[in-house]
Amino acid sequence: MTEKEKQQAGELYLSADPELTSDRVKAKKLCAEYNAIEYNDYQKRVRLLDRLLALRGENTVIEPNFFCDYGYNIIMGDNFYANHNLVILDCAEVTFGNNVFIGPNCGFYTAGHPIDAEQRNSGLEYAKPIKVGSDVWIGGNVCVMPGVTIGDNVVIAGGSVVTKDIPSGVVAAGNPCKVVKNIDDDKPSEVQQVSDGKKDAGKK
């Protein structure tokens, strides 16, 4: 197997491999070009993202600066918005569903290194994919670690470090990030809606 094949298979691989190094250089150059685009030149930004990313949906907005390792491992759904300083270390696949909002200074890190110092110092590393569902809001300064899956309809509080999977329909927070409550807990009940006059608005 090539080092790139090992990487994509989730095995230990050498990141200094010439093929992988060349791929990273191409992506870093495109990121640098993207970050230098005049802010209101939206069409040019979109065209460059199409060159950099594996796939994106409609209405993609990534505020500069944006950094990634390869680009070709990133998939974004419709209505993706990321505030400034998004970092995606996409040594493995990183996928986002529809309607994902990401605050500033967030990182998605698929890359990991061996605990054994000898292996780590030899240049070996590994990568595990990250998956983010649809209708997800991620607050500022959040780190999502290798191998994590975040479900649909989730809010991740700012400053969280997501080390394990987060189920759908919850608010989660902390380091390590844990479920705080269900999204449905904040929805008004039928009784509340009626008592507030919302259910029968306009009726006499």
* Total number of domains constituting the chain: 1
**Is 200 inside any structural domain?**
no
Return the pLDDT at 191: 46
**Is 28 inside any structural domain?**
yes
Model pTM? 0.89
**Is 89 inside any structural domain?**
yes
Taking residues 27-55, what's their average pLDDT?
Answer: 97
Which CATH number belongs to the domain containing residue 112 in this structure? 2.160.10.10
Least confident of 55-64, 105-114, 194-203: 194-203
- Asked if the model's pLDDT at residue 187 lies above 80, the reply is no
Return the pLDDT at 184: 87
Taking residues 9-24, what's their average pLDDT?
Answer: 97
**Is 168 inside any structural domain?**
yes
Domain that holds residue 22: 3-195
> Do strands 178-182 and 74-76 pair parallel, antiparallel, or not at all (unpaired)?
unpaired
Taking residues 115-126, what's their average pLDDT?
Answer: 95
Going by C-alpha positions, the residue among 113, 105, 73, 71 that lies closest to residue 87 is 105
User: Is 84 an active-site residue?
Assistant: no
**Considering 113, 128, 131, 178, which one is annotated as catalytic?**
113
**Is 202 inside any structural domain?**
no
- Asked if the model's pLDDT at residue 201 lies above 90, the reply is no
Q: What is the pLDDT of residues 123-164, one digit of tens each?
A: 999 999 999 999 999 999 999 999 999 999 999 999 999 999
Return the pLDDT at 13: 98
**Is 203 inside any structural domain?**
no
Nearest 5 degrees, angle CA 141-CA 155-CA 191?
A: 150
- Asked if the model's pLDDT at residue 203 lies above 60, the reply is no
CA distances from 175 to 158, 160, 178 (A): 11, 5, 8
Return the pLDDT at 131: 98
